[in-house]
Amino acid sequence: MSTRNDLPAPYGPTPSPRQLKWHTLETYAFLHFTTNTFTDKEWGYGDESPSIFNPTQFSAKQIVSTLKSAGLKAAILTCKHHDGFCLWPTKTTKHNISASPYKNGKGDIVGELARECQKQGLKFGVYLSPWDRNNALYGSPEYVTRIYREQLRELLTWYGPIFETWHDGANGGDGYYGGKRESRQIDRTTYYDWPTTWQLIRELQPDTCVWSDIGWDARWVGTERGFAGDPCWHTITIGPKDGVGQMDEKKLLSGMRDGKSWIPAEVDFSIRPGWFWHEAQNKSVKSPTQLMTHYLESVGRGASMLLNIPPDRRGLVHEIDASSLKLFGEHLKKTFAKNLAVGARLTASNTRPGSDPKHLLDGSWETAWYVDDNVLTPELMLELGRPKTFNIIRLREAIALGQRIDEAAVDCWQNGAWVEVAKAQSIGSCRLWRIPTTTTDRVRIRVIKAAACPALSDFGLFLEPPMPAWSATEPAKSTSRLPATVAACSFEAEGGGAAANLLDGNPATLWHTHSVARGESGLPQWVVLDLGASKKLTGFTYLPRQDGTVHGMVDKYALHVSPDGKSWGEPVVQGEFGNLRANPVEQTVRFPMPVTGRFVKFVALHALEKNHAAVAELRVF
Q: How confident is the model at residue 246 (pLDDT cuts 50, 70, 90)?
A: confident
How confident is the model over 189-230, as pLDDT tens digits? Answer: 899 999 999 999 999 999 999 999 999 999 999 999 999 999
DSSP character string of 122-152? -EEEEEE-S--SS-TTTTSHHIIIIIIHHHH
Q: 395 with 458: CB under 8 angstroms?
A: yes
Q: Dmax over Cα atoms in the chain, in whole Å? A: 87
pLDDT computed for residue 1 by the predictor: 43
Q: Give the closest residue to 110 by CA, choosing from 57, 157, 142.
A: 157
Among candidate residues 239, 193, 236, 191, the one with its CA nearest the CA of residue 218: 236
Pick the CATH number of 338-462 from 2.40.50.140, 3.40.50.1220, 3.20.20.70, 2.60.120.260: 2.60.120.260
Mean pLDDT over residues 547-554, rounded?
A: 94
Handedness of CA 198, 99, 34, 115 (dihedral sign): positive
Position 480 scores a pLDDT of 65
Q: What is the pLDDT of residues 323-357, one digit of tens each?
A: 999 999 999 999 999 999 999 999 999 999 999 99
Phi, psi of 493 (to 5 degrees): -80, 145
Give me the chain's average pLDDT, please.
95
Alpha-carbon span 134 to 41, nearest angstrom: 16
For residue 505, count CB atoms less than 10 angstroms from its CB and return exposed for 0-12, middle for 13-18, buried for 19 or more.
Answer: exposed
Domain extents in the chain:
27-334, 338-462, 485-620
Q: Where do the H-state alpha helices sit in 347-483? A: none
Task: Summarize the confidence of residues 422-438 as an average pLDDT.
Answer: 98
Mean pLDDT on 533-547: 95
Closest CA to 437 of 420, 459, 421: 421
| CA–CA dist 83, 176 (Å, integer) | 9
* Rg, the chain, Cα only: 26
Average of pLDDT values for 274-284?
Answer: 95
Residues 6+ positions from 417 with CB-CB distance below 8 Å: none
Q: Are 423 and 472 in contact (CB under 8 A)?
A: no
- The secondary structure element, H or E, covering residue 547 is none
Q: The pTM is what?
A: 0.88
Residue at 12: amino acid letter: G
Q: Residue 542 is which amino acid?
A: Y
Q: Is 73 helix (H, G, I), strand (E, B) or coil?
A: coil
Q: Which helix (H) or strand (E) holds 577?
A: none
User: What CATH number was assigned to the domain covering residues 27-334?
Assistant: 3.20.20.80
Q: What is the pLDDT of residues 386-417, one digit of tens each?
A: 999 999 999 999 999 999 999 999 999 999 99
- State the Cα–Cα distance between residues 495 and 518, nearest whole angstrom: 12
Please tell me the predicted confidence (pLDDT) of residue 479.
53
What are the pLDDT digits (tens) for 367-389?
Answer: 999 999 999 999 999 999 999 99
How does 593-606 read in b/e, with b if 16+ C-beta sit within 10 Å? eebebbbbbbbbbe
Predicted pLDDT at 169 = 86
Whether 27-334 and 338-462 share one fold: the answer is no
Pairwise CA distance, residues 182 & 170, whole Å: 17
State how far the Cα of 551 lies from the Cα of 607, in Å rounded to an integer.
7
Q: Which residues contact 600 (CB under 8 A, 6 or more apart)?
A: 484, 528, 529, 531, 537, 540, 559, 560, 561, 562, 620
Strand segments (E) across 3-109 = 27-31, 74-80
Q: What is the pLDDT of residues 448-458, one digit of tens each?
A: 999 999 999 99
Give whole-number Cα distances, 49 to 106, 208, 276, 556, 590, in Å: 17, 33, 18, 22, 18
At residue 455, the pLDDT reads 99
CATH level 2 (architecture), domain 485-620:
Sandwich (2.60)
Handedness of CA 225, 227, 231, 232 (dihedral sign): positive
Q: Given a cut of 80, is residue 595 above it in pLDDT?
A: yes
Q: Is 398 helix (H, G, I), strand (E, B) or coil?
A: coil
Distance CA 375, CA 369 (A): 13
What's the confidence (pLDDT) of residue 170? 83
At 478, is the pLDDT very low, low, confident or very high (cuts 50, 70, 90)? very low
pLDDT surpasses 70 at 88:
yes
Residue 477 has pLDDT above 50, yes or no: no
| pLDDT given for residue 593 in this prediction | 92
Task: Say what the pLDDT of residue 494 is.
Answer: 82
Q: 482 CB contacts (<8 Å, ≥6 apart)?
A: 531, 535, 537, 619, 620, 621
Residue 43, pLDDT above cutoff 70: yes
pLDDT at 92 over 90: yes
Backbone angles phi, psi at 443, to 5 degrees: -135, 145
Is the pLDDT reported for residue 503 higher than 80?
yes
Stretch 149-169: mean pLDDT? 98
The percentage of the chain sitting over the pLDDT mark of 90, rounded to a whole number, equals: 90
Three-state SS for 162-218 is CCEEECCCCCCEEECHHHCCEEECCCCCCCCCHHHHHHHHHHHCCCCEEEECCCCCE
Res. 475: pLDDT tops 80 = no
Mean pLDDT of 564-581: 93
